[in-house]
Amino acid sequence: MKSQTQTKTYSNYVNNEWVSSKRTREVLNPFNGETIALVPESSKKDVDTAIAAARRAFDSGPWRDFTAQQRGRILFAMADIVRKNAAMLAEFETLNCGKPIVESEFDMNDTANCFEYYGGLATKIHGETLPVPDNALNMTLREPVGVAGLIVPWNYPLMLAAWKLGPALAAGCTVILKPAEQTPITTLEFARLVRESISDLPAGVLNVVTGDGPIAGGAIVESMEVDKVAFTGGTETGREVLKGVAASNLKKVSLELGGKSPNIFFSDADLDAAADGALFGVFINQGEVCSAGSRILVQQDLFKKLVGRMKEMMPRVVLGNPLNRETKMGPLVSKEHLEKVEGYIEIGRKEAKLVAGGRRPSSKELKNGYFIEPTIFESDNKARIAREEIFGPVVACIPFKDETDALQIANDTPYGLAAAVWSRDIFKCLRMVKSLRAGIVWVNTMQPCYVESPWGGYKQSGHGRELSLHGVEEFLETKQVHINLSERPIGWY
């Protein structure tokens, strides 16, 4: 495929129009540091204009009268444009965030699946009738929460936008979507495709604004006109979002935050499957994954063997141009992020034992990209590399004695997004499943994620759930309706 390398200039998408901002921001290709696009550096005023459009569309536009079936059809049409343009969108995703093209293609398929799922779900959102002890009919209505601000990180740009957009539109909300400053391209391309292909989507329902987190994201969080914020990002930013929500209109909020997920191997696990699952669990998407298995817990008698096998398999994690189909690991998203990850590797060299990786690759082809070798440490659970989210291809391998010890180490973290346990003993696996404090637990695998099943974290990994039926709940209000069937007076006074 021809590479889309010319610098493109984008505008914000507001009220079905392209609206420029006074200032622009350069968007870079992390493979070579070259500028690939210019996007608006939105001011608070720019974002407020988008919020006002979403507010009008929610309060008085034709969207209010759309039936659930019509909203579902809009989402099916969105799935269709993603499928039809998957190759182009995948290439932009790879150029913009550096992930291998095969993974971007995977993401586009998941993005379309997500729109299809919520397209089908739109007609299944309904209330209930409740048997109250009176001569009355009592029921609930499910209604959209209102104007929703959707704030997205850079690791799965379009897919994570779809995780929010699908349920928000199915519920009947209008939205302002803010992609991460580093990776806005596929979201803007998606808006372009929507504008060209879905003519019956009313103005103001879908708005996209780009820009800096505290300014553009902050304007959404602090707005008195926004009813809900759905945020995915780091735990510290999540705290800022909660402060902004508390200081403004107490809008509803859901948070998908960071993790330090344990990938736990008992000594009866199959060695080849274990080594493969350990590497896949942490190095997919350059380790820039919220659910990365970045703590590999291994029972003592398997520890040396498993770490040794992982080291042997490292050459299979091929670093390269992410547009090449053979590449298994691309560059990190930005120079700043590369420096942060390298900083953690330096900390790891002092507090733990380096087993593999740890350097920038020396090849000429990769020298301008933000590459780092996938890196394995032997560590304990006290080390900073075992406690803090690195969000890159760096893993701490930690030995444990028995089941009790494994559980204690696994749960000894402020996070609770995901965990995996590997063993042929189903009793042991199920005991672990029950006691692990995490929102997602895999058994004998790590990382599969399905739109049909909920995603989200315990503890400081967030509030609420995305995907599945749970995902749409985050965009709905519940109204109780009580209908008195007795014609007599209340008779209290």
Residue 290 among the catalytic residues: yes
Minimum separation from the CB atom of position 410 to ligand NDP (A): 18
Q: What x/- string results for residues 225 through 264 when contact with ligand NDP is judged by CB under 6 A?
A: -------xxx--x--xx--------------xxxx-----
Nearer to ligand NDP, 98 or 213 (CB): 213
Minimum separation from the CB atom of position 443 to ligand NDP (A): 20
Binding residue for ligand NDP, selected from 221, 341, 429, 446, defined by CB under 6 A: 221
* 127, burial (CB in 10 Å: exposed 0-12, middle 13-18, buried 19+): middle
Q: Does 159 bind ligand NDP (CB under 6 A)?
A: no
Catalytic residue among 97, 114, 290, 397: 290
Question: Using CA atoms, how far apart are residues 145 and 250, in angstroms rounded to an integer?
Answer: 13
Quick one: angle between helices 157-171 and 101-121, nearest 10?
0
Q: Does 158 bind ligand NDP (CB under 6 A)?
A: no
Binding residue for ligand NDP, selected from 212, 276, 351, 473, defined by CB under 6 A: 212
Residue 222 among the catalytic residues: no
Question: Residue 107 — φ and ψ, nearest 5°?
Answer: -60, -40
Q: Does 151 bind ligand NDP (CB under 6 A)?
A: yes
Residue indicated by tokens 């008779």:
491
Minimum separation from the CB atom of position 179 to ligand NDP (A): 6
Q: For 53, how many CA atoms within 13 A lie in the half-sphere containing its CB? A: 24
Minimum separation from the CB atom of position 280 to ligand NDP (A): 17
Q: Read off the DSSP letter of residue 284.
A: G
Catalytic residue among 91, 256, 378, 403: 256
Q: Does 152 bind ligand NDP (CB under 6 A)?
A: yes
Residue indicated by tokens 């968007």:
27
Q: What x/- string results for residues 377 through 416 when contact with ligand NDP is judged by CB under 6 A?
A: ------------x-x-------------------------
- Supply the Cα-derived Rg of the chain in whole angstroms: 24
Binding residue for ligand NDP, selected from 55, 164, 178, 228, defined by CB under 6 A: 178
Output b/e per residue, 93-110; b: 16+ Cβ within 10 A.
bbbbbbbbbebbbbbbeb
Total residues interacting with ligand NDP, rule: CB under 6 A: 32
Q: Does 181 bind ligand NDP (CB under 6 A)?
A: yes
Binding residue for ligand NDP, selected from 12, 16, 49, 155, defined by CB under 6 A: 155
Minimum separation from the CB atom of position 259 to ligand NDP (A): 6
Nearer to ligand NDP, 231 or 371 (CB): 231
Note whether 449 and 466 are within 8 A (CB). Answer: no
The two tokens of residue 126 are 């309904």
Count CB atoms within 10 A of the CB of residue 147: 28
Minimum separation from the CB atom of position 181 to ligand NDP (A): 3
Concatenated DSSP letters for 205-245? SEEE----IIIIIHHHHH-SS--EEEEES-HHHHHHHHHHH
Residue 248 CA from chain centroid, whole number: 25
Nearer to ligand NDP, 290 or 298 (CB): 290
Nearer to ligand NDP, 230 or 355 (CB): 230
* 70, burial (CB in 10 Å: exposed 0-12, middle 13-18, buried 19+): middle
Count CB atoms within 10 A of the CB of residue 278: 27
Window of 70-78, 212-220, 307-315, 375-383 that interacts with ligand NDP by CB under 6 A = 212-220
Q: Residue 455 corresponds to which amino acid? A: W
Question: Using CA atoms, how far apart are residues 255 and 239, in angstroms rounded to an integer?
Answer: 10
Torsion angle, CA of 211/212/215/221, rounded to 10 degrees? 80
Q: For 2, how many CA atoms within 13 A lie in the half-sphere containing its CB? A: 2
Nearer to ligand NDP, 51 or 81 (CB): 51
Q: Does 90 bind ligand NDP (CB under 6 A)?
A: no
274 to 293, contacts with ligand NDP by CB under 6 A?
290
Nearer to ligand NDP, 264 or 417 (CB): 417
Q: Is 252 helix (H, G, I), strand (E, B) or coil?
A: strand
- Binding residues vs ligand NDP (CB under 6 A): 151-155, 178, 180-181, 212-214, 217-218, 221, 232-234, 237, 240-241, 256-259, 290, 389, 391, 417, 455, 457, 461-462
* Residues with active-site annotation: 256, 290
